[in-house]
Amino acid sequence: MTVAKTSVLVLDCAEPESLAHFYAELLGADIRPGDGFDMVEVVGGPGVHLAICRDHGYAPPSWPRPEDSQQAHLRILVAPEDLDEAEREAVSLGARPVSADAEEGPRDARLFSDPAGHTFTLAATGVKR
């Protein structure tokens, strides 16, 4: 018999409350206290559950620079016709575009960093990358 399990992606950062607000706004989710003093959770509809944890010695990843690994990233799926609007929304909330390649023109997957430096991708549903 398999034990029922669930998972949550935990992002470390220096200021968990502000990063939780970023992701709550971006994902249309709610913020709630997490397990422990330095943990905040972002919970929304199906598939939306993040935890943000304070790391007092946090240093953001430098990906795509080769000296550090990417560590982890989120892939946020949106309808293809909503990709441009989702990008505008993310940037207005404090996301920064990250150029990992020299691809020109319209793209169906776009890479960003959140205010704490974690990378995430906005991708049109059905995109395999």
Ordered by where they begin, the domains of the chain are 9-124 (3.10.180.10)
Q: What confidence score (pLDDT) does residue 67 get?
A: 63
Give the span between the Cα atoms of 18 and 104, in whole angstroms: 33
Beta strands 119-124; 96-97: pairing state: unpaired
Sole residue written with tokens 């059905």: 126
Stretch among 2-6, 31-35, 98-102 having the lowest mean pLDDT:
2-6
Which residue type, as a one-letter code, is found at position 94? G
Q: Answer yes or no: is pLDDT of 29 > 80.
A: yes
- Sequential DSSP letters for 63-117: TTSTTS----EEEEEE-GGGHHHHHHHHHHTT-EE---S---S--SEEEEE-TTS
Q: Is the confidence at residue 87, as pLDDT, over 80?
A: yes
Q: How much is the pLDDT for 89?
A: 93
